[in-house]
Amino acid sequence: MVRTRIRTALGLAATLVALAACEPPGVRTSPVPAARPPAPAGPKVLPPSEQSLVLRDYYASVQQGLVAQGLLRTDGGGPDTPFSERQLVENFIRIALFEEFFRVGGRLVAQQTESRLHRWSEPIRMRVRFGDSVPLAQRDRDRSSVTAYAQRLSRITGLPISISPSNANFHVFIVNEDERRNIGPDLRAIIPDINATAIATVQKMRRSTFCLVFARDPAGDGNYTQAVAVIRGEHPDLLRLSCIHEELAQGLGLSNDSPAARPSIFNDDEEFGLLTTHDELLLQMLYDPRMRPGMVAAEARPVAEIIAAELLGGSI
């Protein structure tokens, strides 16, 4: 989940110092206007490719179709989506302790595999990076969306999450087609030992893959230290925001999807587009201090039952 170079313009600050000059008595001179420093150049925006324009139209129709079916809901769930304590526990186990993909023969295939509990133990420093053909207005919207969502995730989990232009450990790439296809050098610059499978997964994303995220656990102990999310810049606003919500939350440790999870963004049915109240509870459970990185499902289940009972008041 690493991708595009963001071109940031560095403005040079000019300091003007006024000097007092002695003038002959009775002579007045008009002050010479100080020369204004040139305005800093903004980020350069390249025209999108024909392929990117075709994808933009395609994803606009996808969003329109989903919304017309009542999907991509933004209400967070309501009376029509009740869930019990038992359901919350089962959803947590399936989403936090199983993996969605498995590496087979140098490629990632969709295969549910039991894993261990993963989460971050150190503060997250998030950086948003845009492709050169992503419009400036879209960059402003997306940067604001990521910033607000990072603050929300921090409140929910208690984990310090900030936006940082340097020394980032969670990179969010919002890129168009050509930029994504040439993402390899950017990925290697962030993760020098990244494997070819991960790079190929990003560069060869199928049209049916809206976005994705990778998180690293280099010590194999359940502690994430680095993550990269890649989101298609061609998505219309709601679909793009939906990707931001899902991939950033998955990058915190809720890495799987479950068809039984409702109301939830961790469900491939696309009913909900934005993080729900149910999903907030999953994140609270994941970052509860009674949970430990590296736990297997059998260890995490009794702890999850205790926490779920506290959160829902025993509605098993």
Over residues 126-140, the pLDDT tens digits come to 999 999 999 999 999
Residue 14 banded pLDDT, cuts 50, 70, 90: very low
Concatenated DSSP letters of 39-83: PPPPPP-PPPPHHHHHHHHHHHHHHHHHHHTT-SB-S---TTS--
Q: Is the pLDDT of residue 10 over 80?
A: no
Q: What is the pLDDT of residue 27?
A: 34
Residue 105 banded pLDDT, cuts 50, 70, 90: low
The number of residues in the chain equals: 316
> In this predicted model, which residue has the larger pLDDT, 134 or 313?
134
Q: What is the pLDDT of residue 46?
A: 95
Report how far residue 293's alpha carbon sits from residue 286's, in angstroms, rounded to the nearest whole number: 9
Average pLDDT, integer, range 203-219:
96
- pTM: predicted TM-score of the whole model, two decimal places: 0.84
* pLDDT tens digits, one per residue of 21-65: 333 333 333 444 455 555 455 678 999 999 999 999 999 999 999
Q: Is the pLDDT of residue 100 over 80?
A: no
3-state secondary structure at position 237: helix
Q: What's the whole-number average pLDDT of the chain? A: 86
Task: Give every CB contact of residue 149 below 8 A, 6+ residues apart in sequence.
Answer: 244, 245, 248, 275
Q: Is the pLDDT of residue 6 over 90?
A: no
How far CA 38 is from CA of 70, 91, 159, in Å, comes to: 50, 56, 42
Q: Is the pLDDT of residue 73 over 60?
A: yes
**HSE of 252 in the Cβ direction (CA atoms, 13 Å)?**
29
* pLDDT tens digits, one per residue of 242-286: 999 999 999 999 999 999 999 999 999 999 999 999 999 999 999
Instruction: Take residue 6 and report the two structure tokens written for it.
Output: 């963001």
* pLDDT tens digits, one per residue of 230-241: 999 999 999 999
Is the domain defined by 85-312 classed in CATH 3.40.390.10?
yes
